[in-house]
Structure 1
């Protein structure tokens, strides 16, 4: 079936079922053949666009690719439809709800169908009406898109997933990405088992990702009511709200529900779970105060049988706040419904990879427990990887946080700790404490579980990328420990006990330093751990007689600004003020963990907590950590060489000095 429109190189790869580089190879190798790759039709936003009909004819003539039905599927990859995103979505919804083909119908016929499907103009009538005479032509295109994707729901999702490439900022900028959506959906499913809820409502302004994620998680085995809770959507744009309604209606129809979408009723007596993210597509410029007011409304609407999961930037939900936003958050805390507050790692929002997110879990306020005795689970996963095992352990911790005291005592928390809610209310600081996992305070852990997790990680790290490389990169294995944690200690206590020694940095004048890489003593700092500057030993002795040289394993640290710490593995260096030195004297400390704990410190540095270890374990642990450092250095050097190779290839190709030839045989349609 022909499909008029334009496609990108990425579209062609998707259409032909090959990897993106294969298309580039086709284009280059066929240049002088009897069937050259089709010429560029036009360029848009710096990207080459090709006529899809020419591409389909070329694929058929050459036999390239792995999709014999490319011509039939082409409609799903045409870029032109992206300019009519709301209209195509409305027609897909109409197709899903009516179950009849739209091709061949006049604009008036389509309007009649739209009126029957959406008599209140809640989500599609207006978009189809605005098409006017274009409706009939676009209806035929919509049927091709639906046929190519095998269903209106699948076609709708293909358009939604295209949001990052099609200039739909309100959708792309607020997309949570797959891992965070999956975490929230799985947590909602686990919460529903604990509360008995079988109704899920999304309160995201203009959003529907989370409730549809719940639907995917539940699958066919657990039927549930799905809906949009418009009550809490604040200043949500109407266009975004209608888009979310269309999308949900398409998916409800795919599961056989063609009637009116359920309406959220605050007085509803059956248990329900509300999911929401802030900001949402309908209010992408929302601020902390506005988002927290909406969350406050959600909490006020809940009964003790209800639950809610809220996703938002960590700076709104768990970091320190001030002004109206802080007041609103404190008001929510005083309700007692915040069961868990989790700081998540950065990188979960595709368009804001440096923005850490947070998750709130709202549940029963436990009215039988006095406010002073109520608890909230807090966790900081800043440095954790949310892989499958980590996600499941976090969900297990969240499920336990919803229980009573006996459930809490029976659960071995992996990530979380319990904090009195009254302490969170009294503090205007961050809800999850340190931004990195705090040093161990002796809280009992499950030794078997910790061993299994460590063994899995070691196995993963040692997994060879090439079968010719031995898997055992490190000369150590693991066995179960004693199960008794070694208590952490403050820097102050370790200085007093003699386990640490403190040495100040030297106030060295710039005029006494050289930077030509010549002879002299290295001058170290947290911003220059390798010591690129040098100082003549005679100058140091005459002008700075109180300066002390480092010893191997000394930790150089800084407390001004953002705390930082590095290990000097070599010694014989000079530390320049404002950096300072901590020298390990006790057998229960190791340089690497000490530097890591100092880098995450807050407040006066002598009060920072650092991890300690069983003195019998430190020699072997230190050797293992040293092996890891050697491997880290090797990989860093390899990355530098790869960067240099990238620059050399790019410069050489641009200058016409070299050309890449393919030496590997590909089986992806290159025949």
Structure 2
């Protein structure tokens, strides 16, 4: 590695280690063995990358097997952003980011084809480049994959072969190394690599909706077409879904850089060269009219250019080419595929004509963010299929998942919804659907009608008939009546003092020094380890200061034990405190929770039990008037410096009893509100889905008429 490619900054160390940026600063301050910076760049300290990797591995903060490939990618991304670097005598020719990506992937593919090191021991730089050109001419004589790229390799670029060799070795194979490069495509400064890329869940959804695996299982062979292949994301998703089946693939891509990248990707992943054809051209690939599955991404157009856009002419041609049992899945702008189109737009007429053919099986409105480079792009899917089932003609399946992230579970449920609707071997009336509803096509072709439908009831809701719902609502009414009974009167027993005596205060730091309290840190929990399912509650600023429900965020017990061995759970009665975004305390009555940084824990020690109880400590901290001014980065007072009032022991006991009584009354009020919300929600749902009705009866309780 030459120049500054073997140097790494603090943010890059954090990305490499999978932690947040402040953690690295803490490591530098706390551990003397952390590598020292070797130089600075405009005030930024830079470190030897290999020294940092060794320290992370030696201290158990990373595994070499997983971190070494990321280090090689860091080197390559640094090279992509440099204009040149010194090399022996003089300067070597700068490679553009496009050239670097093309050469890197071409070298990985060459290594895959002949299974030889790219830079053998004992070769000089000039001999390395000459040998690579000879090997490329032999392995790719017709220049479909890599010959042009490697013949253009500069004479002084043998260093790149060494870096790619290290990347392949660290990634444990050419296919893994190739995918590592594409996973980091956004770091190379080549926009066409990532501007139209989609998330893996969308690629999987399109492939599974197409029924590619089922077709291969039934016929033994499947032909897949992708008219706008890009870097081959959809083709690779199809390849993965097929498992042991060998596909026949037809594809086209107008950008030569992307087309050759996709060709090399197919070869590296073991798709034999006789099983695919990828044209460098715009439009449908040759051979695709016979394809069993078509995966079509409509090219992105800005909103102002979609006014006169009519993509349905292309979809009509795709639909006409479908033979019985063949499928096309189309990804495009929601404005055109599901939006309420004015009747004067050509796309409105074309869409209605395509719907009337009966070949549109399903229409799915997707959530935002499925194209990471264009997070505001609203998109949708059409599933076109030639299915000879006249009994179910005249209807289409509509699904709207725009209000939820496209998770693996959502993908699975949606695929089941579509696959079990009217395809061979299934009947629509024999399956419940999680997201999709069948709708008459005639109801969708009226002007300005969006292709959306109300989500069907969930499986759990449909498992209950109206009689069960009525019985449960009767129980809810009875519990509400019990809660409305006269309650014991609440008395605070407060009285005015003859003279004002302010309670003395002491800082939390002083209380810790005196042995009354313990102040414990929270743990930095990665966002991708937290979800709605899990064994352990995660409590932090969202719950304490932003109104999130306690218990909504959870972490799996095994993940917590494996990834956070130094973290500790709370004990019953611990008081959790955050100053970000505002000061707020919460008493964890149950305990056994994970505290999410920057939240901290106040634990009452035995010597402090006369001075505090968990309820009293929570109330005293929440009573402190400390807010962060607008525009300020930090709170006005550190938590350790916060002044906590010290009450007389007798007042502490009485205040605790008062707070307990208030909490009991508050819990009753919350329970009543929850029951009222549930009662209203279920009554409205029953009336709208036709399982309930409201009969005549005595006047309902409510506010007097005005």
Fold equivalence (TM over 0.5): yes
Query: Which residue is equivalent to 2:488?
Result: none
- 1:288-327 maps to which residues of 2 (within 5 A)? 289=309, 291-321=311-341, 323-327=345-349
Equivalent position SS for 2:331: strand
Q: Are residue 261 (structure 1) and residue 276 (structure 2) matched?
A: yes
- Between the aligned partners of 2:133 and 2:320, the Cα distance in structure 1 is 41
Alpha carbons 1:272, 1:306 under 8 Å: kept: yes
Q: Are residue 124 (structure 1) and residue 152 (structure 2) matched?
A: no
Per-residue deviation, residues 636-665 of structure 1 (Å, max 9, x unmatched): xxxxxxxxxxxxxxxxxxxxxxxxxxxxxx
Alpha carbons 1:463, 1:471 under 8 Å: kept: no
- The alpha carbon displacement at 1:177 in A equals 1.6
Alpha carbons 2:249, 2:277 under 8 Å: kept: yes
Q: Pick from 663, 680, 690: which aligns with 1:590?
A: 680
Query: Which residue is equivalent to 1:651?
Result: none
Query: Which residue is equivalent to 2:13?
Result: 12
Equivalent position SS for 1:122: coil
Equivalent position SS for 2:269: helix
Alpha carbons 2:37, 2:45 under 8 Å: kept: no
**Can you give the 5+ residue segments of structure 1 that lack an aligned partner in the other structure?**
473-568, 570-586, 598-608, 618-671
- 1:192-207 maps to which residues of 2 (within 5 A)? 192-193=214-215, 196=219, 198-207=222-231
- Between the aligned partners of 2:228 and 2:394, the Cα distance in structure 1 is 28
Equivalent position SS for 2:154: coil
Query: Which residue is equivalent to 1:411?
Result: 431
- The alpha carbon displacement at 1:398 in A equals 1.0
Distance 1:389 1:161, change over 3 A: closer
- 1:210-221 maps to which residues of 2 (within 5 A)? 210-219=234-243
Larger radius of gyration: 2
Alpha carbons 1:204, 1:280 under 8 Å: kept: no
Query: Which residue is equivalent to 1:94?
Result: 110
- Between the aligned partners of 2:52 and 2:13, the Cα distance in structure 1 is 8
Query: Which residue is equivalent to 1:149?
Result: 171
- Between the aligned partners of 1:91 and 1:209, the Cα distance in structure 2 is 20
Equivalent position SS for 2:153: coil
Q: Pick from 119, 124, 128: which aligns with 1:103?
A: 119
Q: Are residue 187 (structure 1) and residue 188 (structure 2) matched?
A: no
- Between the aligned partners of 2:409 and 2:683, the Cα distance in structure 1 is 24
- The alpha carbon displacement at 1:363 in A equals 0.9
- Between the aligned partners of 2:334 and 2:590, the Cα distance in structure 1 is 39
Distance 1:457 1:343, change over 3 A: same
Equivalent position SS for 2:276: coil
Q: Are residue 52 (structure 1) and residue 79 (structure 2) matched?
A: no
Per-residue deviation, residues 92-130 of structure 1 (Å, max 9, x unmatched): 122222222211453333223223333333332222233
Query: Which residue is equivalent to 2:268?
Result: 250
TM norm structure 1: 0.58
- The alpha carbon displacement at 1:308 in A equals 1.8
What is the number of residues matched between the two proteins? 468
Query: Which residue is equivalent to 1:369?
Result: 390
Equivalent position SS for 2:144: coil
- Between the aligned partners of 2:276 and 2:229, the Cα distance in structure 1 is 17
Query: Which residue is equivalent to 1:350?
Result: 372
Distance 1:388 1:157, change over 3 A: closer
Alpha carbons 1:206, 1:280 under 8 Å: kept: no
Equivalent position SS for 2:399: strand
Between the two structures, name the one with larger relative contact order (CA 8 Å, sep ≥ 6). Answer: 1
Equivalent position SS for 2:444: helix
- Between the aligned partners of 2:316 and 2:44, the Cα distance in structure 1 is 45
Query: Which residue is equivalent to 2:28?
Result: 27
- The alpha carbon displacement at 1:85 in A equals 1.4
Query: Which residue is equivalent to 2:180?
Result: 158
- Between the aligned partners of 2:318 and 2:251, the Cα distance in structure 1 is 10
- The alpha carbon displacement at 1:68 in A equals 5.1
Q: Are residue 75 (structure 1) and residue 93 (structure 2) matched?
A: no
Equivalent position SS for 2:364: strand
Query: Which residue is equivalent to 1:506?
Result: none
Alpha carbons 1:184, 1:309 under 8 Å: kept: yes
Alpha carbons 1:76, 1:148 under 8 Å: kept: no
- Between the aligned partners of 1:268 and 1:362, the Cα distance in structure 2 is 14
Alpha carbons 1:340, 1:401 under 8 Å: kept: no
Equivalent position SS for 1:340: strand
TM norm structure 2: 0.55
- 1:364-513 maps to which residues of 2 (within 5 A)? 364=386, 366=388, 369=390, 373-384=393-404, 386-403=406-423, 407-433=427-453, 437=454, 446-447=462-463, 462=551, 465=554
Equivalent position SS for 1:106: helix
Q: Are residue 137 (structure 1) and residue 159 (structure 2) matched?
A: yes
Distance 1:396 1:262, change over 3 A: same
- 1:600-619 maps to which residues of 2 (within 5 A)? 614=692
- Between the aligned partners of 1:93 and 1:445, the Cα distance in structure 2 is 53
Root mean square deviation, CA, Å = 4.8
Distance 1:310 1:192, change over 3 A: farther
- Between the aligned partners of 1:122 and 1:204, the Cα distance in structure 2 is 18
Distance 1:615 1:338, change over 3 A: closer
Alpha carbons 1:76, 1:144 under 8 Å: kept: no
Distance 1:187 1:286, change over 3 A: farther
Alpha carbons 2:145, 2:260 under 8 Å: kept: yes
- The alpha carbon displacement at 1:438 in A equals 5.8
- Between the aligned partners of 1:349 and 1:72, the Cα distance in structure 2 is 25
Q: Are residue 340 (structure 1) and residue 358 (structure 2) matched?
A: no
- Between the aligned partners of 2:128 and 2:56, the Cα distance in structure 1 is 34
Distance 1:15 1:427, change over 3 A: same
Distance 1:327 1:144, change over 3 A: farther
Alpha carbons 2:69, 2:167 under 8 Å: kept: no
Query: Which residue is equivalent to 1:479?
Result: none
**Can you give the 5+ residue segments of structure 2 that lack an aligned partner in the other structure?**
81-96, 121-126, 279-284, 469-530, 536-548, 555-568, 573-587, 592-668, 670-676, 696-706
